Amino acid sequence: MSKIFFDHLIELEDIKSYIDNAAENHEEKEDLWDLVDEYVNHKVLITILTNLDSEYHDEFLLMFLDKPYDTGIIEYLDDRLSCPLCELIVETKSKVNQELEEIFKIRFTKKALKKRKIDS
């Protein structure tokens, strides 16, 4: 089983195709997936802690570390944040998408993509 409570709020479909084109084999693909996953988790956690009153930090972190999959954490956060978590994450998702695209676009210019298509 694998689940983080905010998984369903994050969808980075565009990044998937960049990785599909960048990886030479499945192991490389999974390696990049994991790194993107770690990046997303950092960003979301920072967003939550930035917007959550510090008096709740310990409580939230304990809940997260004890049951990272528990979607009940969303209700807990929604009661304590100034706006619902799903709205906060929309903004984070957009920033993450933009930052990751910048990284992936450096490697894959149109010329390189064309070359890959011809080779295959």
Tell me the closest approach of the beta carbon of residue 115 to other proteins, in angstroms: 9
Q: Are 43 and 99 in contact (CB under 8 A)?
A: no
Cα(49)–Cα(60) distance, integer angstroms: 9
End-to-end Cα, the chain, rounded Å: 35
- Structure tokens belonging to residue 39: 């990046």
Give the footprint of other proteins on this chain (CB under 8 A).
Answer: 1-4, 7-8, 10-13, 15-16, 19-26, 28-43, 45-46, 49-50, 54, 57-58, 61-62, 65, 67-72, 75, 99, 103-104, 106-108, 112, 116, 120
By C-beta, is 82 or 119 nearer to other proteins? 119
Question: Which one, 13 or 82, has the nearer CB to other proteins?
Answer: 13
Choose among 9, 27, 23, 26: nearest CA to 104: 23
Q: How far is the CB of 109 from other proteins (least distance, A)?
A: 11
Task: Give the shortest CB-104-to-other proteins separation in angstroms.
Answer: 7
- Beta carbon nearer to other proteins, 15 or 85: 15
Task: State the Cα–Cα distance between residues 37 and 31, nearest whole angstrom.
Answer: 10
Pick 24 or 79: Cβ nearer other proteins? 24
Mark out the alpha helices in 9-84 (DSSP H runs).
13-22, 26-51, 57-66, 72-80
